[in-house]
Amino acid sequence: MNEEHGQSEDLAVVFRAPDEVTANIVRGLLVGEEIPAMLQSRMVPWMDGVMKMGEGYWGDVLVPKDFAARSRNLIEAYQASDDQPEE
């Protein structure tokens, strides 16, 4: 996040990632569209995977609330395009 979009503003969870790789892909998608995004892991470094089993997901992708609707639309479009069978 940059100075325009600091951590003091309200953030919204726009995606619950099953793993770190997926979280980074989604974050990259949003940042590529000039949407400030950050990751919030639920993992505890010395308890590898324990929190994922308890929480059911790796962590969250967060954006400023002003960008939440657009972010969700982009994520849905990305997931829909990923679900299409290749010809």
pLDDT in tens, 15-50: 999 999 999 999 999 999 999 999 998 876 655 655
User: pTM of this prediction?
Assistant: 0.76
pLDDT (tens digit, 9 = 90+) per residue, 21-30? 999 999 999 9
Q: Determine what percent of the chain is predicted with pLDDT higher than 70.
A: 70
**Are 67 and 35 within 8 A, CB to CB?**
yes
- The CATH number assigned to the domain holding 42 equals 3.30.70.790
Does residue 41 sit within a domain? Answer: yes
54-58, 72-76, 83-87, range with greatest mean pLDDT: 72-76
Residue 83 in domain: no
Q: Does residue 24 fall inside a structural domain?
A: yes
Q: What order of strands is seen across the sheet that includes strand 38-41?
A: 11-17, 59-64, 38-41
| Residue 84 belongs to some domain of the structure | no
H or E stretch covering 87: none
Q: How many domains does the chain have?
A: 1
> Residue 26 is part of which domain span?
3-75
Q: Is residue 85 in a domain?
A: no
86 lies in a domain? no
